[in-house]
Structure formats: C-alpha cells, structure tokens
Amino acid sequence: MEFCPHGTKVECTKVNSAEPCKKLHFKKIIQKHTDESLGDCSFLNTCFHMDTCKYVHYEVDGPTVQFVKEAGSNKVESVEVKALGRTQQDMTILYPPQWVQCDLRYLDMTVLGKFAVIMADPPWDIHMELPYGTMSDDEMRQLGIPTLQDDGLIFLWVTGRAMELGRECLKLWGYERVDEIIWVKTNQLQRIIRTGRTGHWLNHGKEHCLVGMKGSPDNLNRGLDCDVIVAEVRATSHKPDEIYGIIERLSPGTRKIELFGRPHNVQPNWITLGNQVDGVRLVDPELIQAFRKRYPDGNCMTPPKS
C-alpha cells in the first residue's frame, strides 16, 4: 500500500475532509517523557533510545499495522526441497533458497561452482565504531571471489572510504566497473534521511553499489531499470530488497550468489553465504556432493587444518 503524503490522519483530514483516505497513515507515539515541542526524532523508528528519547516517534496507524509488519518480516517460510523449474535459454535449474553458514575468509569457494551474478555487502573497515565485526583491507583483497565467475556481473556495496577500496578490489578480482547504483535512504515517514549514523564530515543519506563485469556475459537485459533506488532504512546494514528485482530483471533465471548475507537475504535461486545464516541448507544435488566431499562435518567457520 502507498503512504499518504500528509503523514498522520489528523493532517490528512485537515487537507481532505470530504472523503476518507485509503492510503497508509502514521500516528504519534506519545510517552510520559515525550516533549512534542521538540518535534520529530531524527532517527524515528531506528532510534536506539526510544525508551528515553524526548522527541516524537511514529507507528503505522490503524488495522493495517499487522499487515505491514508481516510484509516486512524476516520469517522464511518452508518450501519443498525440489527444483522450482528450468529456464528456457540454457536449461539452468532453478532451486529454492540455499545457504551456508561460513567464514568467507576460510571457505573454499571452488566447491560452489560458477555464477552469473555475485552480490556482496562486505563488513568493510571504515574506521568507525560499528555494531558488527569488520574485515581488514588485505582480507578483502584475498577473498576467493575470482573463482566464482568466468563471465558475469558483480554488485558490490561500498560506503565511506571503502568506495575507493571497492574499486581496487574489483580490478584485482578481474572486473571492469561498468556502472553504479545509488540507494537514497528514506526514513519511516518516507522522507530523505538528514541525520545518518555514518560519515566523518557530512551525514550520509545514501549508499553506493558498484557494478562490475567480467568476461562477456550473455542474455543481459540492458536498460530496464535506472541506477537509483529510493527506499526506507531498516536494521543496520539491511540493504533494500529492490536490488533483487533489479538483478533478476537484468539477468533472469541465472545462478546467483550473495556473500556476507544474513537470514533476511535468502532468496529463491540464490545461494547465501555468511556467518549469521542458520547452518547449511543445500538443495542442488551436485553442490551437495561437492560440499560434503570438501566439508564432511559441514564446518566452514574455522581455518583449514594445515
């Protein structure tokens, strides 16, 4: 559903009192410590101190609250463990979501095969205090990404000082940077972020996704989408889901892999790798065989024994 540009039902009624508005509205969360004269909290629903913050916060108004929460839920529904189908162009088998809990610094990526698309949201060391662990520049350079692709595209999320390092890594891994996607961040009220939590000199209201090409990938649908995503921020480092649609339209029905993924990232026809996903779930018989041969105990979280 679409959000009403007037925000709350009260403001909407002032402008349009003739007919009831069918769009989504917000309502103020007023607590004992709230001081409405201070105005809206800059961080809104991403505020870390809502139990003490004196500024105004909001929640979705009316009976649609449950629907909105369910639609944005991280819950992954169970699916039958079988192929979803085949593409007509190259008979690539489409599988339900697959994932591997691993430390990407140590994982032997050669067991995974080749992919048409790679997406990565690395924990770059951007010299700021972050709520998660980071990887050093050299660890990023040494990742086994070159083994995952002969011909294809990579989508690499970067921010801060990592924008230059990301370009360096693309070149080192054998890619030519061919494009760049900008994510313009909006807050809970669908307004552009003005107070970000990153940035040394200016508050960052956007993030960049570098697009690299390796070899000569086939069957790409060029010119369908633009290079700007306008979407709401959610949990820390949670990238907009719109990126999956852009990638699928660009390279439909191909084998895809996401690096540094989390439970909310799992997608049909994608393999998600990361240290926060739950165990190992593989469906592709050939991949299962190769993975079991290399990792009989299923443990990819520790360095290989010398």
Residue 301: how many CB atoms within 10 A of its CB?
11
**Do 207 and 153 contact (CB within 8 A), yes or no?**
no
| Confidence grade of residue 81 (pLDDT, cut at 50, 70, 90) | very low
Mean pLDDT of 69-79: 35
CA distance 159 to 207: 6
Higher pLDDT, 167 or 65: 167
Which class is domain 85-294?
alpha beta
Three-state secondary-structure class, residue 20 = coil
Residue 180: strand pairing partners: 210
For the chain, the structural domain boundaries read: 3-71, 85-294
Burial of 178 from C-beta contacts in 10 A (0-12 / 13-18 / 19+): exposed
Sign of the Cα pseudo-torsion (55, 60, 65, 67, in order): negative
**Do 217 and 101 contact (CB within 8 A), yes or no?**
no
Of 137, 94, 95, 145, the closest CA to residue 119 belongs to 145
CA distance 203 to 67: 32
Tens-place pLDDT, residues 257-295: 999 999 999 999 999 999 999 999 999 999 999 999 999
pTM here is: 0.74
Amino acid sitting at position 102: C
Tens-place pLDDT, residues 91-122: 567 889 999 999 999 999 999 999 999 999 99
**What pLDDT score does 160 carry?**
78
Q: Does residue 131 carry a pLDDT above 60? A: no
Q: Does residue 174 carry a pLDDT above 50? A: yes
* HSE-up (13 A, CA, CB side) for residue 300: 27
CA distance 140 to 18: 59
**Degrees to nearest 5, angle at CA 197 with 196 and 198:** 95
Radius of gyration of the chain (CA): 22
Residues sharing a CB contact under 8 Å with residue 54, sequence separation 6 or more, in sequence order = 33, 34, 35, 38
**What pLDDT score does 70 carry?**
36
